[in-house]
Structure 1
Amino acid sequence: MKDDDLVVRAGSEAHGPYALDIGPERAGWAHCALRVLELDPGGSQLLSTEDSEWIVLPLTGGCTVLVDGEIIELHGRAGVFDAVTDFAYVPRDADVQISSGAGGRFALAGAKCGRRLPARYGPAPEVPVELRGSGSCSRQVHNFAAADTFECDRLIAVEVLTPGGNWSSFPPHKHDEHRPGEESELEEIYYFEIAGAGPGYHRVSPSRPGGTDLLAEVRSGDTVLIPDGWHGPSMATPGHDMYYLNVMAGPGAAREWLISDHPDHGWIRTTWDDQPVDPRLPLYTAPEDAVPEDAAPDSESERPR
């Protein structure tokens, strides 16, 4: 695909109440989707989940999710740079109503799936908050729907906060081919917000001839689609913290996130033990510091997000 197809600028894929509406058809792939729903105070939106499972994740504000006769109250947060948020899982083949008394913005991360799992509430205190990397590669990861932390059928989703001047998604990595036990095939969406209206940058380099080759300046509300390739780094410019939401799904029989590091850059991991984590982190913690250190998955240290 061309760069113009892979970089979705804020507002360019807005439809009705959705500031962003990226489905598999628009992305040019088969599995994952992302919408950003904007509700005015007292606003409400109906969602027919059809053949996909979805997570309702507050970006700003709180909301009420009505699904399968169950009411799920989401307290939400003031903004992505302010707090860990709670979230709601809604299954395929459901009619969902999302309402907000005070208004807000809500990410809907979705993936086509086979199984119909029950609707569930994800409390903010149970979201594993991890500090990953060190030095200028330090970042904060919220593994709210990582493959080994919250049950979904196909959907994988995490949030990443990168202090200004730091690099995330480094070393560059890929997950664009199925190699049992080594790499899983996953489509991926990066949705960005940048503090202080500053720019950030995101790189994707080709993993095969004719593959994705992209260096994009990104600002709040921009989205990057990654069908293949070595993705990373995501670069936060000095003075402008970077947030991104990752949404992933693929065709593999198992819901797993297995990656390959770029052979020219994987060595950077060996330097991390000799450097301190950026003292600005964590930018914030889960409410009540409820998630113990040993609650993070054992494989977290291998993840480059």
Structure 2
Amino acid sequence: MREPQPRPRRDRQLYVPRGEAAHGPYALRIDPRYAGWDYSALRVLDLGPGDTHRFATGDSEWIVLPLSGGCTVRVEGDGEGAVFELLGRTSVFGGVTDFAYVPRDAHAQIASGAGGRFALAGARCERRLPARYGPAPEVPLEARGSGTCAREVRGFAAADAFACDRLIAVEVLTPGGNWSSYPPHKHDEHLPGEETRLEEIYYFEIERGGAGYQRVSPSRPGGADVLAEVRTGDAVLVPDGWHGPSIAPPGRAMYYLNVMAGPGDEREWRIRFHPDHLTEAYR
């Protein structure tokens, strides 16, 4: 039986509040058809104690990333089989986590003895790479920015950190009251050596509840234009445009997961900063 698909978006509403994109077992399911683009996907799965979830990867590669809790990931396909035990973490604010890469044209099972919340970051792709385990100690950590623009970037599937065909994914932790994704930047054109075209999803969690803010401004007439109050479980789609700042509420850290993919021949993250915000402090 063919798996039912989520409804495609029929407007330019790029802010996705918690629950709006829930579908089947997923608290959030953003696939290319829903977003109205070609590559990037994100699913968020809640599992109770002892629960199991199975899915077919189809034409996409996926990374299973624990947001809270741990799990076992079993992968079968093309005559291969693999099992990965993910220790996970207590929450996204508790540090980095291990993860599992699941290739296209495979079947996967996620099982959690104690229960948890798990992100499936995905991208349509052409090559079938082997299933692999990503250890938490090997996740690159970058202290980006300074002062009220300081934040931590966890590049678990950055273009130069972990091999995928098209998928690029990172986590960002922004201290309370700080700005990140700043200066505003974009990656919606193919300019060799300067900029790569990537579709992007932001998924948010706010420490102890509350709300932060996300801005996406047009890079062309009629382009993406978002000013959203974001809470835990919300997402923002970025098909084009200058994105940033992402603003954390005072006293409460903001977490977001970035999932990106695009049509380029090379898997790379090349961006251009908004010239009106690029002061000497950021050059």
For the aligned pair, the TM-score class normalised by the smaller chain equals over 0.9
Amino acid at match of 1:126: E
Q: Distance in 2 between matches of 1:219 and 1:188?
A: 18
Aligned twin of 2:30: 22
* Residue 49, structure 1, aligned to residue 61, structure 2: no
- The answer to whether 1:119 aligns with 2:131 is yes
1:262 aligns with 2:274: yes
- Farther off after superposition, 15-24 or 52-61: 15-24
Corresponding residue number in structure 2 for 1:163: 175
Letter of the 2:17 counterpart? R
Determine the structure 2 residue equivalent to 1:65. Answer: 73
> 1:11 aligned to 2:23?
no
CA contact (8 A) 1:3 1:214 kept: no
Whole-Å separation in 2 of the counterparts to 1:4 and 1:62: 36
For residues 156 and 197 of structure 1, the distance between their equivalents in structure 2, rounded to whole angstroms, comes to 27
| Runs of 4+ residues over 3 Å off in structure 1 | 1-4
Q: Which has the higher helix share?
A: 1
Identity of aligned residues (%): 71
Give the aligned residue type for 1:136: T
CA–CA distance in structure 1, aligned partners of residues 26 and 14 of structure 2: 19
- CA displacement, residues 240-279 of structure 1 (integer Å, 9 cap, x when unaligned): 1100000000011110000000010122xx326xxxxxxx
The equivalent residue for 1:130 is: 142
- Aligned partner of 1:271 in structure 2 is 281
SS for the counterpart of 2:281 is helix
* RMSD, aligned CA: 1.3
Q: Which residue of 2 aligns with 1:181?
A: 193
SS, match of residue 76 in structure 1: strand
Q: Distance in 1 between matches of 2:142 and 2:190?
A: 27
Q: Which residue of 2 aligns with 1:140?
A: 152
Cα distance, 1:223–1:83 mapped onto 2, change above 3 Å: same
Q: 1:40 to 1:4 in 2, by over 3 A?
A: farther
2:198 alignment partner AA: L
- 1:245 is the counterpart of 2:257: yes
**Structure 2, unaligned runs of 5 or more:** 1-8
Instruction: Please tell me whether the aligned partners of residues 61 and 77 of structure 1 are also in contact (alpha carbons under 8 angstroms).
Output: yes
Shift of residue 112 of structure 1?
0.2
Would you say how many aligned residue pairs link Structure 1 and Structure 2? 271
2:163 is aligned to 151
SS of equivalent residue, structure 1 residue 196:
coil
Instruction: Determine the structure 2 residue equivalent to 1:283.
Output: none
Q: 3-state DSSP class of the match of 1:136?
A: helix
Secondary structure at the counterpart of residue 114 of structure 1? coil
Query: What is the one-letter code of the residue matched to 1:263?
Result: P
1:116 counterpart SS class:
coil
For structure 1, list consecutive stretches of 5 or more residues without a partner in the other structure.
273-301
- Tell me, what secondary structure is at the counterpart of 1:26? helix
What per-residue deviation string (whole Å, max 9, x for no partner) do you get for residues 49-106 of structure 1?
A: 0000000000000000000321100000000001210000000000001100100000
Report the TM-score, using the length of structure 2 for normalisation: 0.94
| 1:105 lines up with 2:138 in the alignment | no
